[in-house]
Amino acid sequence: MKYRTEKDSLGEFNVPAEALHGINTSRSLGNFPVSGFTLPSRQVAAIAIIKQACAMANMELGLLEKKKGAAIVKAAAKVASGGHGDQFPVDIFSSGSGTSHNMNVNEVIANLAEEALGGRRGEKKLVHPNDHVNMGQSTNDVFPSSIKVAAAPCVAELAGRTRGLVATLKRKSRQFDKIIKSGRTHLQDAVPVRMGQVFGAWAYSISKGEERLRCVMPRFMELAVGGNAVGTGINNHPRFRKLVIKHLNIIIKDAGAFKGVGAFKVAGHDIEAVHNTNDMAALSAAVSSLAVDVQRICNDLRLMASGPMTGFNEVNLPPVEPGSSIMPGKVNPSICEAVNMVCLKVFGNHQTIFMAAQSAQLELNVTMPVTGYTLLESLTILANGIMILDEKCVAGVTVNREVCERYALRSPSLATFLNPHIGYARASEVAKKAVREGKTVPEVVLEEGLMSKAELAKVFDPKKLTSPEG
């Protein structure tokens, strides 16, 4: 491999001759061979978009020569669209502020702009990664801002997938509304519910999860960019922050990936925005809370579909693959299991983000790369998990009506409806006798002469078993 020699404040270092990145990136590759996990492409694009906006703001302020600035904007746009993705190899577990990643992007953009203006890769004579691409910026304000810029479209996507699942659950709620099933508390027989009520409750819980996502976003859309090293905005024009946000919103308005994303805002408190990642922790908490409800639905579906001969066998889940390499004809709830694992990963990621947020010290949080990586991962995998749960599972669920009604009408919990007529103590004796002798509650009541058939018919009217209105 051929190399070129570059120089920085630490001295000289060999860089692969064909690399668009430079000395900072090469040093990082040698320093941090930890995991092989690199910055998500979404966040690389977000940093590049911020570089575009900063260059535009500096040109508008007359601080950056138009020709040079235009070259930077064009190069950054190319990176933002996914170009040269192999040039961002720095490990996530590197400098805690994200300096290695910010400089990686600065170097690639600078070299692209340098060549566009007639210079040579690695020379830094026409466009310098620090002086020009990073003008008015610090990693400390760019990197947390890039996490938010990258995450916002993911939140919109997750919210959309969530609304899709809610719509499917509501449709199933209407479809199954007249099917009675046995309720269960403590995994023991309880009073009946309608299957439609079960799916309706799930729909409502998921809709609340989507609402929690929306509630955290106004603060999440505040960006630290322009604050520079500690948020004070040193070396920057007083109008720089607002101009960066203005140009950033113009750029994303025309980007398809940002459809449904609102406008970003100047941070409410610039110093706080640099060192505090609690907005990210709050979003992660909302994502984790949504995953709790998704996990619950998957677990209930698996339980209700258990069997078919030795389980509940109340519902049928769409078969998506053979369930065993040895047992012919076996079909497993694979979609629910996959989504269960997604939720477990989201829970673990939230713990990482939460601990990272409280690890901030003084004017900087130095856990930025792992925070961004795990937050973007949670948003992405939960959105995809909800999509497959919706389309490949819930949409195709069917109910074994006869099984559900047999469980409901043979459950000793039906004795509960006798309380107003014969009292709790006598109803308890009826329930125990029904279980002991393998009979239904109505059969025992008639045997004991406690009520007439006509009275029982009114008490056990199916319409009255699942709602006070009947």
Q: Each residue of 178-224: pLDDT tens digit?
A: 999 999 999 999 999 999 999 999 999 999 999 999 999 999 999 99
**Buried/exposed 227-240: b ≥16 CB within 10 Å, e otherwise:** bbbbbebeebbeeb
Question: What pLDDT sits at residue 462?
Answer: 78
Q: Enter the tokens of residue 5.
A: 């020699």
**E runs forming strands in 247-336:** 265-266, 315-316
Total count of residues recorded for the chain: 470
Give the Cα separation of 468 and 470 in Å (integer): 6
What are 376-418's pLDDT values in tens digits?
A: 999 999 999 999 999 999 999 999 999 999 999 999 999 999 9
Is the pLDDT at 92 greater than 60? The verdict is yes
- Whether the Cβ atoms of residue 102 and residue 47 lie closer than 8 Å to each other: yes
Determine which one of 324, 359, 452, 467 is catalytic.
324
Q: State how far the Cα of 130 lies from the Cα of 124, in Å rounded to an integer.
A: 10
Chain position carrying tokens 């990145």: 21
Is 275 annotated in the active site?
no
* pLDDT of amino acid 1: 85
Catalogue all structural domains in the chain, each as residue range(s) with its CATH number: 3-135 (1.10.275.10), 142-401 (1.20.200.10), 411-464 (1.10.40.30)
Helices and strands (H, E) in the chain, number of each type? 16, 8
Contact between residue 149 and residue 46 where contact means Cβ atoms under 8 Å apart = yes
pLDDT in tens, 118-171: 999 999 999 999 999 999 999 999 999 999 999 999 999 999 999 999 999 999
For 231-267, the pLDDT digits (tens) are: 999 999 999 999 999 999 999 987 777 888 989 999 9
Report whether pLDDT(288) > 90: yes
Q: What is the pLDDT of residue 460?
A: 87
Q: What is the pLDDT of residue 470?
A: 53
Extract the tokens encoding 341. Answer: 């694992």
Whole-model pTM above 0.85?
Answer: yes
Question: Two tokens at 184?
Answer: 């269960």
pLDDT(352) > 90? yes
Per-residue pLDDT, averaged over 70-87, amounts to: 97
Confidence of residue 272 (pLDDT cuts 50, 70, 90): very high
Mean pLDDT on 53-79: 98
Instruction: Identify the H or E element spanning 454.
Output: helix 453-459
Asked if 183 and 261 touch (Cβ cutoff 8 Å), the reply is: no
292/295 Cα distance (integer angstroms): 5
The pLDDT value given to residue 59: 98
Q: What is the mean pLDDT of the chain?
A: 95
In angstroms, rounded to a whole number, what is the distance separating the alpha carbons of residues 24 and 90? 10
Give catalytic status of residue 186 as yes or no.
yes
Q: What are phi and psi of 180, to 5 degrees?
A: -90, 140
Q: What is the pLDDT of residue 115?
A: 98
Neighbours of 241 (CB within 10 A): 23
Residue 38: beta bridge partners?
91
Confidence of residue 172 (pLDDT cuts 50, 70, 90): very high
